[in-house]
Structure 1
Amino acid sequence: MDDVAQFLKNLSNLAPQVFETMGADELYDFVTLIVTFIGAPKYVKNPYLRATFTKLLRFLIPPTDDGDRRHVSDRLSVVLHTHPLAKRFLAPAVMQFFVDIEFTGSHTGAYDKYDYRHEMNQILEYFWQQEDYKQTMVGFARDTKSFVRFVNMLINDSIFSMDEALSKLLSIKKTQVEMQDEATWSRLPPRQRQQRIQTHHQEEGHARYFMQFCNEVLHMLNYLSAEKEVALVFMLPELVNRMATMLNFFLTQLVGPKCSSLKVQNADKYFFYPRKLLSEIAATFIHFSSFDEFALAVVRDDRSYDQNNLRKALRVLSPVMPPADLGVFESFANRCIEVKQQDQEDEAELGDVPEEFLDEITADIMEDPVRLPSGKIVDRPTICRHLLSDETDPFNRQRCTVEMLVPDDELRERIQAFRRERRAAARNGAADAAAAEAAAAAAAEPMITD
């Protein structure tokens, strides 16, 4: 089958017009082959063979703004709208393979996966625009375990690609500034200039590659979160903190104090559109703005949360964002101030927390303590986030899955009782203080006599 896959791949690259001569039945069978190979990992265990068929599927998708020349005509994509097997299984299969390609076992897998996911990003964006396919993608989100892993990969890819792209843009700007000083640049030894130019070109290619990928993934997060049923899954404990910290971090990069260092010449050349990126991020904030757990996760991000970044984003987007969306975004920013203040008050109420109530990884007070195979106790969201990328016990590196976690109900009840006692004590203390203040005020009033 690998020979068949390679033959079809080379055909799509070198002689795509051949597909135009295929009859309807042949094209139908071609799609059946694609659905079977992408969606049957039990039978097709070679991830690179499955990846080849995702590239063939990309060939059937109408061309995007980047002008993909391998797609010949819309006739080829019509079969996707009439093939019952594809309409039912293809989109979820691609989403599952998006996760599966993470674990190829190849020494080049860390880089290969981005090439394959680049193809899948475009496929899934097209599917989202087709109602039948969109509903199967929403259905995939209902399988919480699978979708959480899918979103975890999106977050990982977003952070890595943004870091890679922006770090190269910083280097590119530095070289551009040096080259503008012609006198200093011309004094460099020819060999050194040649090496710098070569490195500069490599960094330009690197920046283009990862910025394009980052644009695609952030756009996917945007349109997925626009669907209320899907957005709910993002609010699960193992995802909401990661989403909040990622969005906060991106805001810091794009509108924070050091954002001016990213102003390179010919930014479009690197697919770097800061305002468009900021719009995607703000739209995702808006989609999650109605969820209390998201606002709390945003303000608890001690590393990147900054009210000034939210305010600057509002100013930058005011000329291009619809007024209704700006209003929602501004309301969320205002709400974050209130949530932050309330969270600080709640933390102060608790005072010193017994060490046994603290997560052994994060040192935060636990909500849902579970015991690991190693015997250590951590909060369920903490270990679930870890297991999304590494199914091992972090304390002894032995195999560990979600099913192996043992709830510690007795400890959870004691933590809840501790919270109730501290809150009651805080309320009583506040009431006593108010009564004392009122009594002092009454005693200070002058006595009225006839």
Structure 2
Amino acid sequence: MSILEDILRVTTSQDANKDYSVLPSDFEAPLGVDQVDSVLLYQLVENPSLGQPAIRYLKDCFQRIQQQKRLSKKVSQDLGLLQEMDRLVVGYGLVIFQVEEFTQGENNFITYIKDVVRSIDDYTDFFNNLILRAIKEDSLFEFVNNFFGSLRLYVTSLKLFDLNDSSVYTSVLTCFEMFVSHKPVAAIFTQIDGFFASHDIKPNEFEKSTLLGPILTLSPLNPNVALRNYGDNLERTQQQTNMVHESLQAEHKVVLERLFFIIDKIVRGSAESRNGLLTYFAHIVNKNHLRRGDHANSNKLASNAFVTNITLLLVRFSQPFLDISYTKLDKIDVNYFNNLNLFIDLSQETRMNSDFKEADEFYDRNKKSEDCRPNFISDCFFLTLTYLHYGLGGTVLYDEKITPQLKRMKQEIDRIKRAAQSQDMFARFAAMQLPSLEKTLQITRSLKQALQGFFSHRELQLEIFDFVSGASTFLIRVIDPNHEYPFKQIKLPLIPDQVGVENVDNAEYLRENAPIPFKYYPEYILEGLINYSQYITKYVMSPLFRNTRLHSFIELATVVLRCPELVSNPHLKGKLVQVLSIGALPMRDDSPGFMMDVFENNELVRSHLLYALLDFYVIVEKTGSSSQFYDKFNSRYSISIVLEEVYKIPEYRNQIIWQANNNADFFVRFVARMLNDLTFLLDEGLSNLAEVHNIQNELENRARGLQPRREENDQELQSKLVAAERQARSSCGLAEKSIILFDIFTKDIPRAFVTPEIVDRLAGMLDYNLGSLVGPKCGELKVKDPQKYSFDPKSLLKYLSTVYINLSDEPEFISAVARDGRSFHKSMFDRAIHILGTRTGLASDEFCCKLMQFARDAEDQRIAEEEEDLEMGDAPDEFLDPLMFTIMKDPVILPASKVTIDRSTIKAHLLSDSTDPFNRMPLKLEDVIPNVELKQRIEDYKSAKKQRKIED
């Protein structure tokens, strides 16, 4: 048997091994080198009993040739034959991938692909030689195009292609790796048929109809993978669930490394392949903006698995130029959006602080030439930011949506099961839907757990937050007028502070003074960073914990909050302060919050965070939405948490005291907002607690068979009870933080709370709520499980009483309490002292004595002022303030309405509303006109009254 026959598995003998094909009689023995081509052609085209795909036959021949090369001792005699066979076997390997009809029977491209995928390790050497030959013979594109066209068809024909079948997806990834490892292949890869999708493709079709789509969807977030790994036993222990998490995390990590290898080779292949890949990624994200929509149908959009993987790959590409050294940060073009033919579609994007028209005009005036294309670093960076918002950000939003969906599905299934026990025809029909609903519930639960596993993968999340940190530093660089940050510190504020309530409404002034080009950046650039950071903090393995790069994000938050001209959207700032509040909260072991070290030791943050928080506390009064009245409370709750914690740091405490003493107008605005909120929240919270108390009593009485006292039926009462409980819980929780701030601030800076525009409202609020807690109706606040509503009446009473004591040395406060004819009663203080000192022991004897002395001082003042009021009772109407009906001390004329009002009254009004209260026209305090003549007449009237009293 000759080497040729042994390698090609052919013979001219009729008595040969059954595994060898008998050649027709026109092949004469002995077979020589000049017959190799004819033999191969016969085997591939004419032999009816070849018994295997042509590609496998050629691969086996190739392997035998290589083995024979290693074993052969007759080098000079056999080398020429082996080399010719090698050349022809590899050549025919290319031919059969160029002409699908070349071989006989069922030998076609799909058949070859199936065999290759089934035994990829056996094919590696053979295919590497095919690729090298194709490169040499200039037939590479046709070979690669046919191979991957067939591979794409094969993969999409599979019922499942995901992490559940590791043997298939591993082989497919190996095929990609094998080809793109050759730079000439990588250089033309984006030209392959099926790499790009048609322009009008639907958003959810990329992952099935494009070449990279299936492999980019290999993720634990795939619904089939989630169901397979989490759906079989949803009652497993947390430890068992964590084991599943860890297994999938490890597998996903390996897959991502292999995907990055493939994508990296394409990026490095050629300028054309690099731009093609970015175009492909951009097309996907441009089609999927609805992933951040509130009411989008996720089934009609790209899957979480697909776009999240792309996000992670882009994040990894961004790592080299966002490392902690920032040596390549200046390679990112701050004027990137001035370029022509951007990959990213900005046509419908809201800007940081400009409208569409203004942004378009700016870009039209400043567009770069066609020759000035952005570098890859800039393209990659801004595309990653886009994916962080619409890709990973859409996944975050999906998780936030399915949590309440799961609850509703469970309730609906339970309701149907209960109803099915009846004989009602509709109920039995509804029960027929149970299997489908339970299947949906199982899938959704599995996806929820898969998302938890993904987001608790700290190694992956650290990579994402490293990008967030680097991007935060870059955005401060854009904001910096000189674009020199972080190598030179940014100087804040960027524009002079406007102290005055008009700043709340002065959007045009802020917009005109916003920095360029930052004001024209799309809002999602910042929103993606904030949304991710806000969401990921809820995980125990959050990348924000114990992270040396956390300071970068906090610096950006400080800059954005400190400079109101940067971002027009208050909801983004609200999310920022929420993240900061989470970082400020003490840890479970009572150690300082994980951001506190940065708050205390970072110079930029330490110098500007406090003012930023106080200013935003005021500005958030108006969010521009229909729900703005309630929006502000959540933001102020978060700010209150941060203020309470940083107040423990001496430098922050000194800053607050300085602001109160040296920037009084600014600080009084803040105090006025605190007072407004606390007044409303306490009233709302206590009113709803009374409603909860009344409904609970009513339901208990009905359960005992007593006659109903209310008109509502039981179902209506239950509905009202839920609503009242929800509102009580919210209002009391928010009020608790506000009263704590009042407690700590009034101790150190009491003068800030007794200004004429505030002190009467503060006294009235305290007196009213003191009466609610200890007065005749306090029994209505007794509810079951008060802690459920963040309501501790004794603690609240102690806080309120502490504020009285903190301000007890201020004559203005004593007078204001005394003037409160509606709610001030000395007996209320007697009752409070009894509860705090005798019944509960919450207050010391010293505390009770101070509170008692204050009550006496206020009562004495009340009696004195009553006598004075009687004396002044016949004052002319023109001397009385039109809103407060008290004699004016400093009358001023309002320029628009011409109404005369006391300066303290209009000043208090302008703290909340920058308009004339009589005609709603815009008004600034500096525009009011002192009514000197009327002031003199009032003073003369008072002097005459006092003189008459002396004479009497």
What TM-score, normalized to structure 1? 0.88
User: What is the rounded CA distance, in whole Å, between the counterparts of 1:90 and 1:199 in structure 2?
Assistant: 42
User: What is the rounded CA distance, in whole Å, between the counterparts of 2:891 and 2:715 in structure 1?
Assistant: 59
| Alignment CA distance shift 1:74-1:14 (3 Å) | closer
User: What is the rounded CA distance, in whole Å, between the counterparts of 1:72 and 1:284 in structure 2?
Assistant: 28
Secondary structure of the residue aligned to 2:705 is helix
> Which deviations, in whole Å up to 9, do the C-alpha atoms of 1:193-241 show, x marking residues without a partner?
34432332232222111111111111111110000xx210211100110
Tell which structure's C-alpha radius of gyration is larger: 2
2:787 to 268, 286, 308: 268
2:848 is aligned to 326
1:446 is aligned to none
Secondary structure of the residue aligned to 1:19 is coil
Letter in 2 for 1:316: I
Matches within 5 A, 1:154-193: 154-181=674-701, 182-184=703-705, 192-193=713-714
User: What is the rounded CA distance, in whole Å, between the counterparts of 1:27 and 1:196 in structure 2?
Assistant: 49
User: What is the rounded CA distance, in whole Å, between the counterparts of 2:666 and 2:772 in structure 1?
Assistant: 30
Secondary structure of the residue aligned to 2:907 is helix
1:221 is aligned to 742
User: What is the rounded CA distance, in whole Å, between the counterparts of 1:96 and 1:50 in structure 2?
Assistant: 12
Does residue 283 of the first structure (1) align with residue 802 of the second (2)? yes
Query: Shift of the alpha carbon at 1:15?
Result: 7.2
Matches within 5 A, 1:115-130: 115-130=634-649
Query: Shift of the alpha carbon at 1:356?
Result: 2.3
User: What is the rounded CA distance, in whole Å, between the counterparts of 1:186 and 1:344 in structure 2?
Assistant: 48
Does residue 109 of the first structure (1) align with residue 628 of the second (2)? yes
User: What is the rounded CA distance, in whole Å, between the counterparts of 1:286 and 1:73 in structure 2?
Assistant: 29
Query: Shift of the alpha carbon at 1:301?
Result: 1.0
1:338 is aligned to 860
Does residue 292 of the first structure (1) align with residue 811 of the second (2)? yes
| Alignment CA distance shift 1:21-1:359 (3 Å) | closer
| Alignment CA distance shift 1:185-1:210 (3 Å) | farther
| Alignment CA distance shift 1:388-1:75 (3 Å) | closer
User: What is the rounded CA distance, in whole Å, between the counterparts of 1:15 and 1:325 in structure 2?
Assistant: 42
User: What is the rounded CA distance, in whole Å, between the counterparts of 1:334 and 1:88 in structure 2?
Assistant: 43
Query: Shift of the alpha carbon at 1:72?
Result: 11
Does residue 350 of the first structure (1) align with residue 872 of the second (2)? yes
Letter in 2 for 1:4: L
1:32 to 539, 549, 555: 555
CA contact (8 A) 1:89 1:136 kept: no
CA contact (8 A) 1:179 1:185 kept: no
Query: Shift of the alpha carbon at 1:397?
Result: 1.5
Letter in 2 for 1:90: L
2:18 is aligned to none
User: What is the rounded CA distance, in whole Å, between the counterparts of 2:594 and 2:757 in structure 1?
Assistant: 43
Secondary structure of the residue aligned to 1:398 is coil
Greater percentage in helix: 1
> Which deviations, in whole Å up to 9, do the C-alpha atoms of 1:7-29 show, x marking residues without a partner?
3223334575222463x3x2222
User: What is the rounded CA distance, in whole Å, between the counterparts of 1:351 and 1:186 in structure 2?
Assistant: 52
Does residue 316 of the first structure (1) align with residue 835 of the second (2)? yes
Letter in 2 for 1:164: E
User: What is the rounded CA distance, in whole Å, between the counterparts of 2:835 and 2:667 in structure 1?
Assistant: 33
> Which deviations, in whole Å up to 9, do the C-alpha atoms of 1:115-135 show, x marking residues without a partner?
222211111100111111112
Matches within 5 A, 1:54-73: 54-63=577-586
Does residue 253 of the first structure (1) align with residue 772 of the second (2)? yes
1:390 is aligned to 913
> Which deviations, in whole Å up to 9, do the C-alpha atoms of 1:2-60 show, x marking residues without a partner?
222223223334575222463x3x22222211111111111222211212211221232
| Alignment CA distance shift 1:247-1:21 (3 Å) | closer
User: What is the rounded CA distance, in whole Å, between the counterparts of 2:639 and 2:736 in structure 1?
Assistant: 14
Letter in 2 for 1:339: Q
Letter in 1 for 2:761: R
User: What is the rounded CA distance, in whole Å, between the counterparts of 2:929 and 2:698 in structure 1?
Assistant: 59
Does residue 302 of the first structure (1) align with residue 821 of the second (2)? yes
CA contact (8 A) 2:585 2:641 kept: no
1:4 is aligned to 529
Letter in 2 for 1:209: S
**Over the residues paired in the alignment, what is the CA RMSD in angstroms?**
2.3
User: What is the rounded CA distance, in whole Å, between the counterparts of 1:187 and 1:333 in structure 2?
Assistant: 43
1:80 to 579, 591, 599: 599
Does residue 45 of the first structure (1) align with residue 45 of the second (2)? no
Secondary structure of the residue aligned to 1:126 is helix
> Which deviations, in whole Å up to 9, do the C-alpha atoms of 1:378-421 show, x marking residues without a partner?
11111111111111112222111111111112221221121111
1:406 is aligned to 929
CA contact (8 A) 2:770 2:828 kept: yes
Secondary structure of the residue aligned to 1:370 is strand
User: What is the rounded CA distance, in whole Å, between the counterparts of 1:309 and 1:379 in structure 2?
Assistant: 31
Greater Cα offset, 209-218 or 350-359: 350-359
Does residue 197 of the first structure (1) align with residue 718 of the second (2)? yes
Letter in 2 for 1:390: D
| Alignment CA distance shift 1:105-1:192 (3 Å) | same
| Alignment CA distance shift 1:73-1:336 (3 Å) | closer
| Alignment CA distance shift 1:63-1:420 (3 Å) | same
User: What is the rounded CA distance, in whole Å, between the counterparts of 1:293 and 1:284 in structure 2?
Assistant: 14
Secondary structure of the residue aligned to 1:378 is strand
What TM-score, normalized to structure 2? 0.42
User: What is the rounded CA distance, in whole Å, between the counterparts of 2:911 and 2:614 in structure 1?
Assistant: 16
2:14 is aligned to none
User: What is the rounded CA distance, in whole Å, between the counterparts of 1:186 and 1:304 in structure 2?
Assistant: 35
2:754 to 219, 224, 235: 235
Query: Shift of the alpha carbon at 1:253?
Result: 0.8
Letter in 2 for 1:224: F
Letter in 2 for 1:97: F
User: What is the rounded CA distance, in whole Å, between the counterparts of 1:20 and 1:263 in structure 2?
Assistant: 40
CA contact (8 A) 1:16 1:72 kept: no
| Count of residues in correspondence between the two structures | 419
CA contact (8 A) 1:38 1:51 kept: no
User: What is the rounded CA distance, in whole Å, between the counterparts of 2:544 and 2:854 in structure 1?
Assistant: 51
CA contact (8 A) 1:103 1:109 kept: yes
Does residue 422 of the first structure (1) align with residue 941 of the second (2)? no
> Which deviations, in whole Å up to 9, do the C-alpha atoms of 1:130-160 show, x marking residues without a partner?
1111122223323222211111111111121
Identity %: 30
User: What is the rounded CA distance, in whole Å, between the counterparts of 1:179 and 1:54 in structure 2?
Assistant: 41
| Alignment CA distance shift 1:329-1:7 (3 Å) | same
| Alignment CA distance shift 1:362-1:58 (3 Å) | closer
| Alignment CA distance shift 1:78-1:420 (3 Å) | same
Q: Point out where structure 1 has 5 or more consecutive residues left out of the alignment.
A: 430-450
Greater Cα offset, 84-93 or 352-361: 352-361
1:153 to 673, 678, 694: 673
1:212 is aligned to 733
Matches within 5 A, 1:361-400: 361-373=883-895, 374-400=897-923
User: What is the rounded CA distance, in whole Å, between the counterparts of 2:594 and 2:697 in structure 1?
Assistant: 49
User: What is the rounded CA distance, in whole Å, between the counterparts of 2:707 and 2:826 in structure 1?
Assistant: 45
Secondary structure of the residue aligned to 1:302 is coil
